[in-house]
Structure 1
Amino acid sequence: MSTDHVNELLVTEPYLPQSPTIESLAQSNQYLTALIQFVTFSIEMQSVEDIVWYLTKSVIGQLGFEDCIVYLVDPESSLLVQRAAYGDKNPSDKTILDPIRLRIGEGIVGRCAELKKTMLVNDLSKAENYIVDDKSRQSELAVPIVINGELIGVIDSEHSAKDFYTQHHVSTLQAIASVIASKYASLQTVQKLQQSIASLENAKRLQQALFDITELVHISADLSDFYRKLHRILADLIKADAFYICLFDNNSKTLNFPYYFDKSTGNHSPDEQHGDALDRAFAQRVISGQAPLFLSQEDISVYLNNNELQYDNSRTPPYCWMGAPLRIDNKITGTVAVKNITNQTPFSSKSLELLWYTAQQISTALKRKHDESMLQHLALHDELTGLPNRTLFIDRLMHSLEADLRREQQQTCILYLDLDRFKLVNDSYGHHIGDKLLVLVSNKIKSCLRQHDTLARLSGDEFAILLEDITDLTLVETLSTRIIEELRLPIDIERCHIATTTSIGIVHASEFSQEKRLASEMLRCADNAMYQAKRQGKGCFVFHHKLTSNSLHDILVLEQALDTALQDGQFVCYLQPIIHLTTLNIEGFETLIRWQHPEHGLVSPGDFIEVAQKSGQIIQIDKIMMDCACKLMQRWLKYSNKVPYLNINVSSSSIAAEGFLAYFQSKIAQYGIPEGVLNIEITEQALINNFEQATYALHEIQKAGQKIILDDFGTGYSSLSYLHQLPIDMVKIDRSFVRTIGQSHTAKSIVKAVLSLADSLNIQVVIEGIEEATQRDKAIALGGVYGQGFLFHKPMSITKAEALLDFAVGDQT
């Protein structure tokens, strides 16, 4: 159709009303009433679809039209699609059986849309591109729906008579189109606002979820609890019928499911072998693809058809599935996945985006939780042998004694074992042979025990056995004899032929009254019995109840000797430097007690500290060391304003003793000690024994400006919960992990985990027991900054330390 011909069809002349007649006035009033009615009702409507249906159903008939079609632009195809109709174009109420689709520019309607102008054709026989849809018409009126230059749709009407449409019709339909356009714009604004609000709410929910996932590390009791709470958080973001965590075990090369929730059963399963063939296959695709994955019902069907997969046909394949990778230490280690069995809650691209965001936070939380779990396991087990440690042993012993109390019986028995001449093995063959011997010895002892008996490594070469249902002591005699005979058999380690024996002390709960039946008391008595077994020639066992007063005489003699040492000032202070691993600068010193015995010479603490702790003499010893450290620091401060710090070891007895805190504060004031140079070093065992008193004292010490050092980290109740509750400034990783840091992946992982967790809590770390250059290099590679050990300096007298300090300070100046 030519442009000139189109222009002929367009009505451009202004409407010139003639003298009104009663008929014309009535018609105008009818049109105006219809328009007002349309405007009024459209105000309450909330969709364009409802408006156009109301137009065709309730308004068009009042204008005298035979038919009317409302087209709206389809945003995806850009076609004009019939959305509502009146007359014989709409045989069904609000249902378009076969909607008409027109291209922009096609026919009268398409040209109206293209030009965004009203088109009035009084004689369709002259319109060359008139499209006959059902039956030929004589005239047509098409009015565009436009808002801010954007085409929304077209209102089109055809009539069987020529020259039917008047200017009244044109004006009324244009007004209606304007109302629809305005309503459309208003609805779009509301929709965008709702979308913005929804986006803000979703962002807020996501932010809260990410925060909650981070908090799970600290509030969940264990990994199972962590997974359950994690599931509840994700359920608020993504509606799913099933949720699971899948982790890849690098050792077994298998996929495990530590958490699997299925809505159909309502079970939270910790079964690591859970998950069907599809769960495993899809999780493996996420891990190998290292990217989030969304699978629709069609994708899943194609996969089942194209893969030889043994799938249980009785189970319905999921309607849709989503998974996102979990990355720990820059490695894809698993998948977090959700799936829906039905199409009632389909996933969207937004769902996948949410899952991907949360997966990254889950990865971070999982790493910290795994690190903490490893430390918690470490806190209760010996790293070398894997046996329960002293803390776990005492806990189980206490539970056994409580069970005795409930049963009103005494069936608990403990054996205290110490390897004879083990120090000679270490000195002769080296620590690495000694460590292997301890592992083999622990395996031999376990082979003699029942499955429910507890074997623990208490320290060094000391072990303990808990027997929980002993009513006949002859059974204990038989067991002890068997253990001694088993350990007498030579052991070959790296061409070394080693024979060892053990001394055993035995104590039974029946020896004690109910008031004195304490775990600590039983251990002390078993230790005394073991000590007597050594005095009787080693390689034997002694029952505590058979000890004579003579057998306890030696312990009493040692206590008296300690009293003399305290009175005569026989205790001296030794120092061992703490250094910066890369610069080798001396950062501080740990103060160490030595006994300068008038007859036996220099006695190490291992020969008297245990007796001092049991007798309570350790409190006076701690005060002597504190006084010595204060005097030493006062002298150093006269030499220089920049001095290394001193760490004073404080026992569990002292930290809980009445007056200890006041004594410390008085010494700080007496010697004018500034902040941060005189620190308190305590073991984890000291915290556990007197947690409330220790917590209060440590907070007060830190208020005074001195730092708190946690020694032997990893051998007690090492956990984030304690680090959060206590004012810890520095932790010292126990030497037992450093010894095998070059060979043991577990030891390396533990050191790395401690360094990572401490860094996140702004806590410094000192790595103890560094004896070889390879251990130092490993410590540095893992991120260690400070170290202590024989590789750098052995414990030394104050005179030698001050000479070394003068040299170090000279270097720095």
Structure 2
Amino acid sequence: MQTINCPRLIERVMANTLESIMISDRRGRIIKVNNAFTRITGYSESEALGQTPAMLRSERHPPSFYAAMRAEIDHRGSWSGEVWNRRKTGEIYLQWLSINALEDEKGYVSHYVAISHDLSELRAREAEVEFLAFNDPLTRLGNRQLLMNRLDQALASCREKGEVLGLMVLDVGRLRPINDHFGMRAGDEVICTQAERLHLLAEASDTLVRLQGDTFALLRHSQASVADMTHLAERIIKDLSRGITLQDKSLLMRPSLGIALFPQDAMNKENLIQAAESAQMQAKSQGRKMFRFFDHGQHSEQQRQLIIEHDLGELIIARKHTGLELYYQPKMCLVSQTVCGAEALLRWQHPSLGWISPGEFIPVAEQTHLCVRLDRWVIKQALQQIKSWQQQGVDVPSIAVNLSAHQLDQEDFASWLASEVAHEGLNPSVIQLEITEGAMIRNGEAAVALLEQLQGQGFSISLDDFGTGYSSLSYLDSLPLNELKIDRSFLQRIDRDERSLKLLRAIAGLALSLDLQVVVEGVETDRQVALLSQFGHIKVQGFYFYRPLPAAEFRELLDLQ
């Protein structure tokens, strides 16, 4: 069995341990230190030998602290705890110190061994973790969590004192193109520069935080009058709009800022933040480099739009379609005074908003590209309704459905429509497809080709809202059309403008001479009917005769003919 040299082993342990080890005699004179002691304190072994541990004292502890330490060592033979000491450089540091008294064979204290661990790095890491819990690592400003905490405190104080609290939300603008062109590091530089500018403008009592990306918030805790917030907003917009130089190029910034006040705009922190964000979006949508106070009316409209967008998506994507219904507005032949067609119009009864106008939800469908699915649902419903009426022995005239511009982009539309019509056992002539001039311009030659294909399959094509765009007469000859619908705006002028009447008569006459059917929209008065009766065999549509009717009422109308 190998014999272990204990003194040599102890030397190796002391040399390699990470903890500082200091051994002193019974009088407290240092007789041995290890490498870790030198590394941590900065004192070499030769400088420490013969000294007492008092050489490390930081003066942060009173004499009573060391007296208590000494008393516990004398009584229990050991002591441990946190101690602030001083390095040779003068830097004060925190360490965990354990002191043990060693006795000789007779039971008398012969030596003291002090083992310590430097807590500086650990406490620095803990401090950094604590800092990052409430601060942004890039700008060193506060973060959203800090804002939420300060809002709780500020709102409680303002409620108690009856004071006004102001919250600003702003973005510096142009961050995405800067990141794309100059790189993410340049974007970070811009954020830091703008953060410094904001810091100089904020008061010591304000809470300034970076929420995310290039979005900041500034909380004025009390006495935030409209005048004070306006003055601060003007200074912020001015300073943040100044140029920033990146790679020898000066970039002008375009900040936008929103302001919300407690208690007039919101009563809790979540709604106050939402109100400030809403105001900021209003400023952003109006051109940037400006600020806006929260507008309750505009916010309500935005909320309504969000509800419509969300719930419309739910209806169409989930295929529930609850509340959607087709109404039918008759087209009247003026000469015979009979119903000779109808337009299928979509109506939506929302469970909480009530009836929503197509003029409100159709643009939402267009913007979110839900219109393609919506068009096809309308077509399927119309086909099923026509089939049902025919099975009941009703003589159903051609029913028109509106097509969005996005529908004309769908390569499968012609085949899909033909398949749906065949599935219901109907003739293509029962459906008329209405398109607008804008859709034709947007889709160009592809749209013309698609319409030619549809017309060749037996579907009737109508050009809707003629007179609201370019209204080129060449369309009447170059497009595959069966019908021309003249916009209601012409009728609004013919009562007072003879030239408008002549123009309307000329357009109708030209279309009729090209074997196109003519429909004039928006007929509402006796005089309009009298004037249009002179135009020959045209159709009209408007409230003078009928408003859009539910399916049951339209069927009753057909029965009366």
TM-score normalised by L of structure 1? 0.32
Higher relative contact order (CA 8 A, sep 6+): 2
